Amino acid sequence: MTVLARRAAAEFIGTAFLVMAVVGSGVMASRLSPDDAGLQLLQNSLATGAALVALIVALQPVSASFNPVVTLVERALVMIDTGTAATLIVGQVLGGLAGTVAANLMFGLDAVSWSTHQRTGPSLWLAEVIATVGLLLVIFGTVRSGRADRVAFAVGGYITAAYWFTSSTSFANPAVTIARTVTDTFAGIAPPSAPAFILAQLLGGALGYFLVRFLYPSIASSAVATADRKVFS
Amino acid sequence: MTVLARRAAAEFIGTAFLVMAVVGSGVMASRLSPDDAGLQLLQNSLATGAALVALIVALQPVSASFNPVVTLVERALVMIDTGTAATLIVGQVLGGLAGTVAANLMFGLDAVSWSTHQRTGPSLWLAEVIATVGLLLVIFGTVRSGRADRVAFAVGGYITAAYWFTSSTSFANPAVTIARTVTDTFAGIAPPSAPAFILAQLLGGALGYFLVRFLYPSIASSAVATADRKVFS
Amino acid sequence: MTVLARRAAAEFIGTAFLVMAVVGSGVMASRLSPDDAGLQLLQNSLATGAALVALIVALQPVSASFNPVVTLVERALVMIDTGTAATLIVGQVLGGLAGTVAANLMFGLDAVSWSTHQRTGPSLWLAEVIATVGLLLVIFGTVRSGRADRVAFAVGGYITAAYWFTSSTSFANPAVTIARTVTDTFAGIAPPSAPAFILAQLLGGALGYFLVRFLYPSIASSAVATADRKVFS
Amino acid sequence: MTVLARRAAAEFIGTAFLVMAVVGSGVMASRLSPDDAGLQLLQNSLATGAALVALIVALQPVSASFNPVVTLVERALVMIDTGTAATLIVGQVLGGLAGTVAANLMFGLDAVSWSTHQRTGPSLWLAEVIATVGLLLVIFGTVRSGRADRVAFAVGGYITAAYWFTSSTSFANPAVTIARTVTDTFAGIAPPSAPAFILAQLLGGALGYFLVRFLYPSIASSAVATADRKVFS
pLDDT single digits (tens) B33-55? 999 999 999 999 999 999 999 99
Mutate to test the interface with D, among C31, C106, C155 (most CBs of D within 10 A): C106
Residue A120 pLDDT class (50, 70, 90 cuts): very high
In this predicted model, what pLDDT tens digit does every residue of C104-162 receive, in sequence order? 999 999 999 999 999 999 999 999 999 999 999 999 999 998 899 999 999 999 999 99
Residue D164 pLDDT class (50, 70, 90 cuts): very high
The minimum CA-CA distance between B11 and chain C, rounded to whole Å, is: 11
Cα B143–B147–B153 angle (5° rounding)?
90
Query: What pLDDT was estimated at residue D145?
Result: 86
Taking the CA atoms of B205, B211, B217 and B221 in sequence, report the sign of the dihedral they define: negative
Find the mean pLDDT for residues B84-107. 98
The minimum CA-CA distance between D66 and chain C, rounded to whole Å, is: 18
Q: At what angle do helices D68-76 and D122-144 cross, to 10 degrees?
A: 50
Q: Are C181 and C157 in contact (CB under 8 A)?
A: no
Q: Are D18 and D176 in contact (CB under 8 A)?
A: yes
Chains near A (3 or more Cβ pairs under 8 Å): B, D
The minimum CA-CA distance between D6 and chain A, rounded to whole Å, is: 6
Q: Are D15 and D175 in contact (CB under 8 A)?
A: yes
Chains near B (3 or more Cβ pairs under 8 Å): A, C
In this predicted model, what pLDDT tens digit does every residue of C179-232 receive, in sequence order? 999 999 999 999 999 999 999 999 999 999 999 999 998 876 544 444 433 333
d(CA C20, CA D2): 43
Picking from B52, B62, B152, the nearest residue to C215 by CB comes out as B62
Does pLDDT of D1 surpass 90?
Answer: no
Is the minimum CB–CB distance between B138 and chain A shorter than 8 Å?
yes
Find the mean pLDDT for residues D107-120. 97
* Helix, coil or strand: residue B177: helix
Q: Is C80 left (phi over 0), alpha (psi -120 to 50) or beta?
A: beta
Percent of chain B with pLDDT over 90: 91
CA atoms within 13 A on the CB side of B172: 28
* Helix, coil or strand: residue D66: coil
Cα B218–B219–B222 angle (5° rounding)?
145
* Helix, coil or strand: residue C23: helix
Does pLDDT of A233 surpass 60?
Answer: no
d(CA A138, CA A67): 14
Find the mean pLDDT for residues B225-232. 38
Does pLDDT of C73 surpass 50?
Answer: yes
Is the minimum CB–CB distance between D36 and chain A shorter than 8 Å?
yes
d(CA A160, CA A21): 12
Q: Which residues contact C5 (CB under 8 A, 6 or more apart)?
A: none
Which residues of chain B does A102 touch, with a Cβ-Cβ cutoff of 8 Å?
126, 130
Picking from A158, A217, A220, the nearest residue to D51 by CB comes out as A158
Delineate the domains of chain B, giving CATH numbers in brackets: 3-228 (1.20.1080.10)
Q: Which residues contact B71 (CB under 8 A, 6 or more apart)?
A: B65, B80, B85, B88, B89, B92, B233
d(CA D65, CA D58): 12
**Which of A8 and A2 is assigned the larger pLDDT?**
A8
Neighbours of C123 (CB within 10 A): 16
Q: Which residues contact B206 (CB under 8 A, 6 or more apart)?
A: none
Asked if D47's CB is within 8 angstroms of A160's CB, the reply is yes
Q: Are A136 and A69 in contact (CB under 8 A)?
A: yes
Asked if C130's CB is within 8 angstroms of B28's CB, the reply is no
Which residues of chain C does D156 touch, with a Cβ-Cβ cutoff of 8 Å?
50
Picking from D1, D60, D102, the nearest residue to A130 by CB comes out as D102
Q: Which residues contact D186 (CB under 8 A, 6 or more apart)?
A: D23, D26, D27, D29, D30, D40, D44
The minimum CA-CA distance between B132 and chain C, rounded to whole Å, is: 23
* Helix, coil or strand: residue C78: coil
Query: What pLDDT was estimated at residue C1?
Result: 57
ipTM: 0.95
Mutate to test the interface with A, among B41, B145, B165 (most CBs of A within 10 A): B165
Which residues of chain C does B25 touch, with a Cβ-Cβ cutoff of 8 Å?
161, 164-165
Give the type of residue at D189.
I
Low-confidence winner among A227-231, D17-21, D85-89 (lowest mean pLDDT):
A227-231
Q: Which of residues 94-113 of A touch B (CB under 8 A)?
A: 102-103, 105-108
Is the minimum CB–CB distance between B114 and chain A shorter than 8 Å?
no
**Alpha helices per DSSP H over C67-165:** 68-76, 82-106, 122-144, 151-165
In this predicted model, what pLDDT tens digit does every residue of D134-156 receive, in sequence order? 999 999 999 998 899 999 999 99
Compute the mean pLDDT over every residue in chain C, rounded to the nearest whole number. 93
Residue B224 pLDDT class (50, 70, 90 cuts): very low
Neighbours of C51 (CB within 10 A): 30
d(CA C5, CA C118): 36
> Please, what's the b/e burial string for A156-193 (b: 16 or more CB within 10 A of its CB; e: otherwise)?
bbbbbbbbbbbbbbbbbbbbbbbbbbbbbbbbbbbeeb
The DSSP output letter for C185 is S
